[in-house]
Amino acid sequence: MKDLNVITEAEIAVPTHPVELRHFIDGAWVDSADGAVSERVSPSHGGVVSRAAQGGEAEANAAIEAARKAFNDGRWSRISGKERAAVLLKVADLIEEHTERLALLETMESGKPISQSRGEVEGAADHWRYAASLARTTYGDSHNTLGEDMVAMVLKEPIGVVSLITPWNFPFWILSQKLPYALAAGCTCVVKPSEMTPSTTALIAELLVAAGLPAGVCNIVLGYGLPVGSTMTSHPEVDMISFTGSTAVGKKISEIAAASLKKVALELGGKNPQVIFPDADLEDAADAVAFGVHFNVGQCCNSSSRIIVHEDIAEEFTARVVELSRQVAFGNPLNPDTQVGAIVTEDHQVKIDGYVTEAVAEGADVKLGGAALSVDGVGEQFYQPTIITKLTSSMRIVQEEVFGPVLSVLTFKTLDEAIELANDSIYGLSAGVWSSDVHTCLAFARRAEAGTVWTNTWMDGFPEVAFGGMKQSGQGREIGRYGFEEFFEVKSVVMRVGKGSRGAWVGGK
Ligand code: NDP
């Protein structure tokens, strides 16, 4: 392999030179026709990590045409599930073989801790394996009760060419929540990563080739949302768009796709609450709250950025979370002990700080943090773990996605009030409840407006379990059997069998 050398854990260090990335179209690595490139500077270490071809409409069109041709000629869409599964399983093995290299690039581009990147790369391999199992076990329906001379089948067919557009917060993980499932279904794909974190997506092309994926089946175009993502959304030869990112861009995509009635699957923002009852294991709950809000510096659609605590325990519980948050290892992403790394861009850091400053001006109380953080040797693009009280549900910091390590604390008296506060959001991605009473947990789970409800845990996910949002958190589901089903069209085949006539319609005989 050219760029993707296997490196060992001992060799993990700031790379000495940027990785060079090109588009992968119809089985070939190509530069942009106009020679444009973009560079990604590490948010923690400052140097240029990657130099990527910056695509335009020409590259997006070429990739879509290659995917269409590959879909139509059946080189992937009409082979057996067994053959598709064999390729996906090889990709999983190759991902594991290259974990260190992929994790290092992920960390250098996103600012996330190296131990977390390793976990995400390994978890991504598991998605490829699970998708391989689905490739072999999908089936439709048969109807044998329609009468002696009729039989019908409901077939599932790959939907066609799918555009996959991914964000910067979990580049390889989110890619692996989409690509293997689309491929397992027999679709062909065009992929666009965020221009801030293109490396691991670009490098998977080498693994796909090594695993034997036919040319044209997966095409990768690097570049910005405009014009690459927008071309992938509007092009007439695209049948479906699977997008993860902001609700604002999700709405735009939905609007554009509506013009040609393309199918759209959207995984968008969240303002995810955890509700804590007095009878919960408060130690465990406090730890889950610290994890829920600080993991990935809060740059997480699933960030638990709101907690709703019973008023009898609110003060004591908040103090526990403050104490635990002080102990979270914020710092240099390349230190294997670091739990929380850098903020993705300076602009984003300013945005996070803006929410905190505004809340304070409106009377909120900052119990911890509330400002940028400087980390020895790796600069100032960090943010302190921040916990804020004396809030009302209507404030912007409680309603909007801060996408930083900033926790809003609200209180409640009754289950009904807790549910009302939890559901007081335009979002409906995930929610959590902490109580030792299973009836309380179930009552909350049933009434919470959220695609996922965790009871006495937070952010446990499995390839088998569907993920996605209600309300403005999205449309459709990702991963699991439900996520896999998104990539199919359903076709009913109704067959007349036997020698009998259907009876003439004309003349009524
Ligand atoms: P965006 O929604 O802007 O970007 C996500 C992806 O969509 C990127 O690949 C982006 O490309 C692409 N894109 C942007 N505009 C278009 C378009 N018009 N048509 C098609 N594709 C497009 O998210 P950001 O990365 O800018 O983050 C902004 C905010 O979104 C965050 O602060 C957070 O609140 C939220 N967000 C939510 C995520 C989630 O997991 N639910 C993930 C990331 C962000 P490019 O950026 O390269 O131009």
CA 246 – ligand 1 centroid, Å = 5
Q: How far apart are CA 398 and CA 391, in angstroms?
A: 8
> Is ligand 1 within 6 A of the CB of residue 245?
yes
User: Which residue in 189, 236, 185 sits closest to 215, CA to CA?
Assistant: 189
Upstream peptide bond of 180 is cis (omega within 30 degrees of 0)? no
Q: Which residues are catalytic?
A: 267, 301
> Is ligand 1 within 6 A of the CB of residue 230?
yes
Same domain, 245 and 260: yes
CA 140 – ligand 1 centroid, Å = 35
CA 354 – ligand 1 centroid, Å = 20
Same domain, 131 and 220: yes
The per-residue pLDDT for 4 is 41
> Is ligand 1 within 6 A of the CB of residue 191?
no
Q: Is residue 162 part of a domain?
A: yes
Q: How far apart are CA 352 and CA 402, in angstroms?
A: 6
The per-residue pLDDT for 5 is 40
Q: Please, which residues have CB within 8 angstroms of residue 237's CB and are 6 or more apart in sequence?
A: 64, 65, 67, 68, 161
Domain span at 385:
273-455
Per-residue confidence band for 509, with pLDDT thresholds at 50, 70 and 90: low
Same domain, 340 and 251: no
Same domain, 214 and 90: yes
User: Would the pLDDT of 3 be above 50?
Assistant: no
Number of domains in the chain: 2
User: Would the pLDDT of 503 be above 90?
Assistant: no
Q: What percent of the chain has pLDDT over 90?
A: 94
pTM over 0.85: yes
In this predicted model, what pLDDT tens digit does every residue of 161-192 receive, in sequence order?
Answer: 999 999 999 999 999 999 999 999 999 999 99
Buried b (16+ CB within 10 A) or exposed e, 470-483: bbbbbbbbbbbeeb
Same domain, 59 and 162: yes
> Is ligand 1 within 6 A of the CB of residue 467?
no
Q: How far apart are CA 104 and CA 117, in angstroms?
A: 7
DSSP 379: E
Half-sphere exposure of 67 (CA within 13 A, CB side): 32
Amino acid letter for position 172: F
Q: Is residue 44 part of a domain?
A: yes
Write the residue with the smallest CA distance to atom 19 of ligand 1.
230
Q: Please, which residues have CB within 8 angstroms of residue 245's CB and are 6 or more apart in sequence?
A: 165, 166, 167, 268
> Is ligand 1 within 6 A of the CB of residue 77?
no
Q: What is the CATH number of the domain that holds 309?
A: 3.40.309.10
Pick the atom of ligand 1 nearest to 267's CA: 41
Query: Which residues lie across from 50 on neighbouring strands?
Result: 19, 40
Same domain, 66 and 154: yes
Q: Is residue 216 part of a domain?
A: yes
The per-residue pLDDT for 389 is 98
The per-residue pLDDT for 27 is 98
In this predicted model, what pLDDT tens digit does every residue of 202-257 receive, in sequence order?
Answer: 999 999 999 999 999 999 999 999 999 999 999 999 999 999 999 999 999 999 99
CB under 8 A, 24+ apart: contacts of 26-29: 26/62, 26/63, 26/66, 26/69, 26/70, 26/215, 26/216, 26/219, 27/66, 27/209, 27/214, 27/215, 27/216, 28/215, 29/205
Same domain, 445 and 322: yes
Instruction: Among 249, 301, 427, say which to mutate for ligand 1: greatest number of ligand atoms within 8 Å of CB.
Output: 249
The per-residue pLDDT for 16 is 83
Q: Is residue 168 part of a domain?
A: yes
Instruction: Among 169, 246, 452, 471, say which to mutate for ligand 1: greatest number of ligand atoms within 8 Å of CB.
Output: 246
Same domain, 40 and 112: yes
Write the residue with the smallest CA distance to atom 35 of ligand 1.
246
User: Which residue has tokens 């670009």?
Assistant: 202
The kind and range of the H/E element at 347 are: helix 346-361
Same domain, 245 and 321: no
Per-residue confidence band for 502, with pLDDT thresholds at 50, 70 and 90: confident
Query: Which residues lie across from 462 on neighbouring strands?
Result: none
In this predicted model, what pLDDT tens digit does every residue of 446-498 receive, in sequence order?
Answer: 999 999 999 999 999 999 999 999 999 999 999 999 999 999 999 999 999 98
In this predicted model, what pLDDT tens digit does every residue of 277-291 receive, in sequence order?
Answer: 999 999 999 999 999
Same domain, 234 and 302: no
The kind and range of the H/E element at 25 are: strand 23-25
Q: What is the CATH number of the domain that holds 479?
A: 3.40.605.10
Same domain, 154 and 254: yes
Q: Is residue 381 part of a domain?
A: yes
Same domain, 231 and 338: no
> Is ligand 1 within 6 A of the CB of residue 233?
yes
- Which tokens is 491 given? 């076709």
Pick the atom of ligand 1 nearest to 174's CA: 40
Q: Are strands 37-41 and 48-53 parallel, antiparallel or unpaired?
A: antiparallel
Question: What are the angstrom distances between the C-alpha of 445 and each of 51, 273, 382, 398, 484?
Answer: 46, 12, 35, 21, 24
Q: Is residue 167 part of a domain?
A: yes
Q: Is residue 3 part of a domain?
A: no
Per-residue confidence band for 377, with pLDDT thresholds at 50, 70 and 90: confident
Per-residue confidence band for 329, with pLDDT thresholds at 50, 70 and 90: very high
User: Which residue in 7, 65, 104, 42 sits closest to 381, CA to CA?
Assistant: 42
CA 266 – ligand 1 centroid, Å = 12
Write the residue with the smallest CA distance to atom 6 of ligand 1.
167
The per-residue pLDDT for 456 is 98
Q: How far apart are CA 90 and CA 93, in angstroms?
A: 5
In this predicted model, what pLDDT tens digit does every residue of 22-74 receive, in sequence order?
Answer: 999 999 999 999 999 999 999 999 999 999 999 999 999 999 999 999 999 99
Q: How far apart are CA 14 and CA 4, in angstroms?
A: 16
- Which tokens is 73 given? 């000629």
> Is ligand 1 within 6 A of the CB of residue 375?
no
> Is ligand 1 within 6 A of the CB of residue 252?
yes
Q: How far apart are CA 292 and CA 300, in angstroms?
A: 9
Instruction: Among 163, 192, 194, say which to mutate for ligand 1: greatest number of ligand atoms within 8 Å of CB.
Output: 194
> Is ligand 1 within 6 A of the CB of residue 249?
yes
